[in-house]
A and B are shown apart, each in its own frame.
Chain A
Amino acid sequence: MSGVLSGAPAARPARSRLRFEGDMRGLMALPALLFMGIVFALPLGLLLAKSVQGADGLTLNGYARVLGDAYYRGVIWDSLTLAFRVTLISLLVGYPAAYALARTGGVMQVLLFSLVFLPLTVSIIVKTFGLTIMFRREGILNWLLINTGLTDGPIRFVFTEMSLVIGMVNVFLPFMILPLYSVIRMLDGRYLDAAATLGAGPFTTFRRVVLPLTMPGIVAGSSIVFAISVAAYVTPGLLIGERYMTMSMVMAKAFLNFRDYQLGSAMACVMLVIALSIVFASSFLTRSLEQRGGR
């Protein structure tokens, strides 16, 4: 290490050794890359091929059917707006939770961690059915509203967009909290002290110090939640059914009912492009934020 810093001739072998070790560390990702190559990239390639495969050779007819049909464009728009709403609410709910998780310790932290992790151990189907029971006309939510005098009679919650959004936030919230927690935990408390010393109030400290420094966590959490929300199938199916069609439901219909692989694959590729755009954009945003923070 000292050789590297000194720039002495003796440093050359050390530098190449470091590069070699770096390459070797890169090789550690090989099993994961192989695994993902076989179970993700290969089927994806096949899917892409199916989407442009027509009876008479290559065609973009599948994409024309998806993007040229107002109904399917509506389905894409509905999937995107649903994912956006779920991401936004997850962020608003998840950020304070992640902050509390990172800044507390002892029993409280264990308790908060349990609250984040325990829902992950419960099947989506169980959680979703549980929500349906809670949202019923005779469920606890309506009971509370009526008994607190907020409403005169039961309100319909089941199979509404509101219950869908709440249900999806419930399922995906941990995926927002965990990346946020890992970034907030690394936040150096001395920055907060310095801001306070310079006369900044809590809101200004949050806006000018905490928020910019935790932005990579916000971007990472939001991109994860958005990507899995836009592709959700089970939760929308159980919480609202076919009255709110999503891209995944169209794919299921195309593959299973219609055996229309071209339509299903084209819709899958459209969804993939959306998800990849989000991942690349968030990655770019995180990198530029880090560079700005570094300066």
Chain B
Amino acid sequence: MNRSKISRRSILAAAGTAAAVTGFPSILRAQTREIFIGGPASPGLTDVLFPLIEKKHNMKILFEGTNSLINLEKIRNNKDRPTMTVTMMDDPVLVLAQREKLIQKLPAEVTTLADLPALAKPADGMWANWCQPMCSASHNTQKVKGVASYADFWDKTYRDGLILISMRITQAVAPLLAATQLATGKPLAECLKLADEGFGKLRELRPNILQVSTNAPQAQQLLETGECLAYLAPDSRTTLFRKAAGAPVDQSYPKEGVIAMPAGVALVANGPNRDLGVTFINELLNPETQAMVAKTFYSKPTNTKTVLPAGLTFPDMVVLDWEYFADNRNKWIERFEREVAAR
């Protein structure tokens, strides 16, 4: 009977096998570096944009898509040991992040910043706007032929036909400013600082409000099925993306104007893999990617050297003072809930 012997050779073979089995994935992981990004749950990011950047720069993007305030809360909670490298949030929330020193100024290595106008580099380049989605209203094309003016939404033909986005979401600025414009007669661009005067008019919209929603996918689904006639106000990232997919929805272009939503990108203060973060932001802002962003997200690019794809145009948009918005948002949330949303 042969007895199995433990020889030096067998120990070496076993150790080699163990190293190969347990170590090989680590070697692979080491070759593809990972970057953790927190951002919006917009369509097109994880299925179109990120795969291109991952392939081009041999990086793996771990993405968590949620709304900006939840994203901010996560950064706050990990302030001492940040896990996120890059955050993609809207400007009013980035204003808060800047005040709490949760983001750091974009470094000189982000060379593409030079091609952005000053308005797209808020707070002296603390963050950059990587695109400007259009925000006005979205309507069901089978039920509504078009929206000439924001005033249309106050008409009784819209009774129980509107979903308003909650004031907790930045896009809610659109119906508030529309109401302010109608109440004051001032141009939309001047309405932000008069917004308190718009609440009375917004209250008049109550018979037409089917729901005040914080759940954008649900609201979008109800718009597409015709349960509501219009939705105030998702931005073009959602509306035109869904329109391109065949959904019966379209962006409304009321005569009073369309608001530019600020989609920002920033480096988390003391976040890991800073060099990857810089690479990611540079890639996001370069003219070729910006052209793709414009086409994928139906949002105006911010890099002035971008050549828009044929057939794609954007109207002039109203740019708001987001710092003022950030300073007043809590007060408006409170008023909105008590005066507009309440039964």
Contact A243 B211 (CB under 8 A): yes
| B175 to A: closest C-beta gap in Å | 14
Residue A237 at the B interface, CB < 8 A? Answer: yes
A71's closest neighbor in chain B, by CB? B338
A231 to B218, CA, bound (A): 22
In the complex, A195 has a CB within 8 A of chain B:
no
Interface residues in A, total, Cβ within 8 A: 21
C-alpha spacing A213/B333, complex, angstroms: 51
Q: Bound state CA distance, A210 and B104, in angstroms? A: 69
Chain B contact residue count (CB 8 A cutoff): 27
Q: Which residues 207-240 of A have a CB within 8 angstroms of B?
A: 237-238, 240
Q: Is B14 part of the binding interface, using a Cβ–Cβ cutoff of 8 Å?
A: no
- Annotate B215-231 by CB proximity to A: 1 below 8 A, 0 otherwise: 10010011001110000
Interface residues as binary, B268-289 with A (CB distance below 8 Å gives 1, 0 otherwise): 0000000000000000000000
Report yes or no: B338 in contact with A242, Cβ–Cβ below 8 A: no
Please name all residues of chain A whose beta carbon is closer than 8 Å to the beta carbon of B211 when the two chains form the complex: 158-159, 240-241, 243
A166-174, A250-258, A271-279 - the one binding chain B: A250-258
* Contact yes or no, B333 A245, CB < 8 A: no
A242 in contact with B218 (CB, 8 Å): no
Distance (Å) between the CB of A35 and the closest chain B CB? 23
Are the CB atoms of A242 and B210 closer together than 8 Å? no
Q: Which of A138, A156, A245 contacts B337 (CB 8 A)?
A: A245
Any A CB within 8 A of the CB of B3: no
Residues of chain A contacted by B166 (CB below 8 angstroms): 241-242
- Given A156-B160, A158-B222, check contact A242 B215 (CB 8 Å): no
Q: How far is the CB of B333 from chain A (nearest CB, A)?
A: 6
A156 to B159, CA, bound (A): 11
* Complex alpha-carbon distance, A239 and B212, angstroms: 11
Tell whether, in the assembled complex, residue A243 and residue B227 are in contact, meaning their CB atoms are under 8 Å apart.
Answer: no
Least Cβ–Cβ distance between A174 and chain B, in angstroms: 24
Contacts of B69 in A (CB 8 A): 256-257
Partner of A158, one of B73, B210, B342, B343: B210
A132 within 8 A of B: yes
A244 at the interface (CB under 8 A from B): yes
Complexed CA–CA distance, A242 and B168 (Å): 10
In whole angstroms, how far apart are the Cα atoms of A132 and B217 in the complex?
Answer: 13
Q: List residues of chain B with CB within 8 A of the CB of A113.
A: none
A137 within 8 A of B: yes
Q: Which of B73, B160, B215 is in CB contact (< 8 Å) with A241? A: B215
A135 CB to nearest chain B CB (Å)? 9
Query: How far, in whole Å, are A213 and B308 apart by their CA atoms in the complex?
Result: 76
With contacts A138-B226, A257-B168, A257-B333 taken as known, whether A243 is within 8 angstroms of B214 at the C-beta atoms is no
Within the complex, what minimum Cβ distance (angstroms) separates B67 from chain A? 9
Q: Which of B322-343 contact A (CB under 8 A)?
A: 329-330, 333, 337-338, 341-343
A124-147: which have CB < 8 Å to B?
129, 132, 136-138
Q: Which of B73, B215, B226, B342 contacts A237 (CB 8 A)?
A: B215
Contact B342 A256, beta carbon cutoff 8 Å: no
B95 to chain A, nearest CB (A): 14
B227 surroundings in chain A (CB, below 8 A): 136-138, 158
Q: Is the CB of B168 within 8 A of A241?
A: no
Give chain A residues whose Cβ lies under 8 Å from the Cβ of B210: 156, 158-159
Q: Is B112 an interface residue (CB 8 A)?
A: no
Q: List 18 A-B contacts (CB under 8 A).
A: A129-B218, A132-B218, A136-B222, A138-B226, A156-B160, A158-B222, A238-B215, A241-B212, A242-B212, A242-B213, A242-B337, A243-B342, A243-B343, A253-B168, A256-B70, A257-B330, A257-B333, A258-B330
8 more CB-based (< 8 A) A-B contacts, given A241-B341, A253-B168? A71-B338, A137-B226, A138-B227, A159-B211, A237-B214, A242-B341, A243-B209, A256-B168
B interface residues, Cβ below 8 angstroms from A: 69-70, 73, 160, 166, 168, 209-215, 218, 221-222, 225-227, 329-330, 333, 337-338, 341-343
